[in-house]
Structure 1
Amino acid sequence: MPANPIPLTAPTAEDFRAWHRVQSAALAHDRPDEPVPVEDAVRARLTTPGADSTVVLWLVRGTAGEPVATAALRLFSRPGHVHLAEVDMTVHPAHRRLGAGSRLLSTVTDAARGADCRGIVTEVTAGTPGEGFLAARDFTPVLRLTRLRLALAEAPEQIGRLPDVPHAGYRLTAWDGVVPDELAAAFTRARAGTAGAAAGGPDLGDGGWDEARVRAAAEAVAARGERLLTVAAVSEADGEVAGYTELVLPAGLSGRAQQYDTAVLPEHRGHGLGLWLKAAMLRRVRSGHPGITEIQADNADENRHMLAVNTALGFRPRHRTVKYRLDLRKR
């Protein structure tokens, strides 16, 4: 029988090692084709949650002191998002169906309710027992995604054939990390104008964007030891950012990169800007960061256009995930 969840108000090095053991075992069991993150990367993500948010952590140990389960509850302080929390719960494969998950979820929901949250969002791999676990506890599916992978070493010729022709009325610009001051206002307007398309799903709490939040988001990536790359399309007519794509490179600049948002403002769609932007990003990574071997992207099933763009670029499906939401007002 697992012990009660232990809140990690001041996590120790041993706590992080235990957390990493649970995460590694679960990933190897549930998605054996996925690379296991190094312990330093796990620690960095837990201790630098991002702008306008805090993370509450719990660790469950067994009777012999072995790590059994983990939970991270992310609480937001920015307007438009305070009502919704995100939770990432993991139970070690050897300790599943023994009550640890139920006990941990009860603790997490009590904490979210105590923080005046109206709902909790979490994500699980489609077709796994996690879906049944959530459905039995009144969670409802709100967004279905396909996780895609582009192996850069397997598609050098395809990357070389990616479109690199000028788009009349637009120019490309790129930067690392925080947006340059001269583009900050225009990029912030683009983020605000494409927030729904980038986040996807109903009422997932995207909230508003301002320049402070844009800068803080980039700084949070750097604080984890990672690197944020952005490519944007700028309208020649008015200097506004018409669309953008973001990619996060891991610490050490080797291994897998993670696709963040790609979005084009509604009034600029239909000109192929999404494909142009992402193709430019792939060429940039290939030429400037040879240690990056693959790129992972999550594509909402409802976003058929972006799925077509990703497929044209050589991304291939790996597995499917589902975002679930629990309405705390009904409990």
Structure 2
Amino acid sequence: MDLEIARFDPAAADMAACHDLLVASHHVDLPGEPPLPLAELVGRWARPLPGMGTAERWVGFRGDDLVALAQVNFLDAENSAIGVTHIVVHPAARRAGIGGAMLRAVLPALRERGRRVIEGWEVVAGTAGERWAAAMGFRRVRTVVRQALVTAKADPSRWDVPVPAGYRLLWWAGGAPDAVLDSYAAARGAIHDAPLGESDYRWPRWSPARVRAAEAEARAQGLEQRIVAAVHERTGDVAAFTEVCVHPRRPDWGYQRDTAVVAAHRGRGLGRSVKAHMVRWLLAERPALARIGTTTGAENAHMIRVNREVGFTTLPSMIAVQRAVSPGTRPA
């Protein structure tokens, strides 16, 4: 195979070549969808997005040609047994054992970090990536529905959603107001009801201190973190919220993060209301915003329907795959 694998060296890296490889793969696996711009790739590799822990990378060369990349994110806190691994092989170099060689190259680092489980979250359903994962001993543990709201094609009337009786909306960019911090942290915990399939990933255990830490991490990365929350008038508690982040390196895209409704307040249309008002707020202040992307577990039919009602369209699904780091053991 004549493949040379080495640790990624940021000081010597040809980021344009890395980007070209990823774009070539993207065009095959997700045709018609815009790839990640070079500046965004550089930024993400310099500092992983919030919640993804630290990252290490490997590169694979045939002669002078970069043909493969591997990245492992070492999650922390309640997910410190997982190494989220993404391996990309140039389409022209596939089916030659390169992906398997890259996987074997990252295993020692996973063991050194005490990881029991490898999960891959960026496998496009029905593509060569899914077939490769099965051949490498991975099993599908979750299906993720991808949706996008393309603002130029959306019907603004879908955002004319009233606030349900007994609630008022509160929105902020950056830090949550002190007056609602405790109930907002509790509302973030309501996402624990969202299904995760058979993935070993666990939702964060939110507390006021963890909220403040996450806000500080977003600020440090230059992320514009926006929250629209529904507040219960009688108690003053946050009953629902939605979160969208905009990155300065990609200011025309919004990244939908968590949305949750506290169990006692479900069935009143709060999820649709906060999402619709989020879109209106974003476009009022950022008229050049072209796209908002979101992902939802396939089992969560309610949220998928809410997204469609607000104007999101469905894209090819991703699957999460998993295997044990050490052969012959079962993920625990």
- Report the TM-score when normalising by structure 2: 0.90
Q: CA deviation at 1:311?
A: 1.3
SS in 2 for 1:36: coil
Q: CA deviation at 1:41?
A: 0.7
SS in 2 for 1:122: strand
In the aligned structure 2, how far is the partner of 1:212 from the partner of 1:138? 39
Partner of residue 4, structure 2: 4
Q: CA deviation at 1:252?
A: 5.2
Partner of residue 59, structure 1: 59
Q: Within the alignment, does 1:255 sit opposite 2:289 as a pair? A: no
Partner of residue 93, structure 1: 91
Change beyond 3 A, Cα 1:98–1:161: closer
Q: CA deviation at 1:161?
A: 4.4
**Retained in 2: the 8 A contact 1:126–1:321?**
yes
Q: CA deviation at 1:119?
A: 0.8
In the aligned structure 2, how far is the partner of 1:43 from the partner of 1:223? 16
Partner of residue 187, structure 1: 184
Paired residue type of 1:61: F
Q: Within the alignment, does 1:103 sit opposite 2:101 as a pair? A: yes
Paired residue type of 1:184: L
Change beyond 3 A, Cα 1:283–1:13: farther
Change beyond 3 A, Cα 1:52–1:19: closer
Does 21-30 or 181-190 show the bigger shift? 181-190
Aligned match for 1:228, one of 209, 222, 225: 225
Change beyond 3 A, Cα 1:151–1:107: same
In the aligned structure 1, how far is the partner of 2:208 from the partner of 2:44? 23
Q: CA deviation at 1:224?
A: 3.9
User: Deviations along 1:199-241, whole A, 9 cap, x unmatched?
Assistant: 7333323242233432333344444443221111112222222
In the aligned structure 2, how far is the partner of 1:179 from the partner of 1:112? 36
In the aligned structure 1, how far is the partner of 2:193 from the partner of 2:54? 23
**Retained in 1: the 8 A contact 2:54–2:74?**
yes
**Retained in 1: the 8 A contact 2:161–2:272?**
no
Paired residue type of 2:133: L
SS in 2 for 1:14: coil
Q: CA deviation at 1:169?
A: 2.2
Partner of residue 201, structure 1: 197
- Paired positions, count: 325
Paired residue type of 2:118: I
Q: CA deviation at 1:302?
A: 0.5
Paired residue type of 2:202: G
Partner of residue 110, structure 2: 112
Q: CA deviation at 1:261?
A: 1.2
SS in 1 for 2:146: strand
Q: CA deviation at 1:85?
A: 1.8
Q: CA deviation at 1:57?
A: 1.2
SS in 2 for 1:33: coil
Change beyond 3 A, Cα 1:218–1:62: farther
Change beyond 3 A, Cα 1:19–1:225: farther
- Report the TM-score when normalising by structure 1: 0.90
Q: CA deviation at 1:269?
A: 0.6
**Retained in 1: the 8 A contact 2:39–2:249?**
no
Report percent identity of matched pairs: 32
Unpaired runs of 5+ residues, structure 1, are none
In the aligned structure 2, how far is the partner of 1:121 from the partner of 1:184? 33
In the aligned structure 2, how far is the partner of 1:178 from the partner of 1:52? 20
SS in 2 for 1:194: helix
In the aligned structure 2, how far is the partner of 1:218 from the partner of 1:104? 35
Change beyond 3 A, Cα 1:325–1:201: same
**Retained in 2: the 8 A contact 1:2–1:68?**
no
Partner of residue 32, structure 2: 33
Change beyond 3 A, Cα 1:196–1:107: farther
Change beyond 3 A, Cα 1:258–1:213: same
**Retained in 2: the 8 A contact 1:221–1:228?**
yes
Q: How well do the aligned residues superpose, as a CA RMSD in angstroms?
A: 2.1
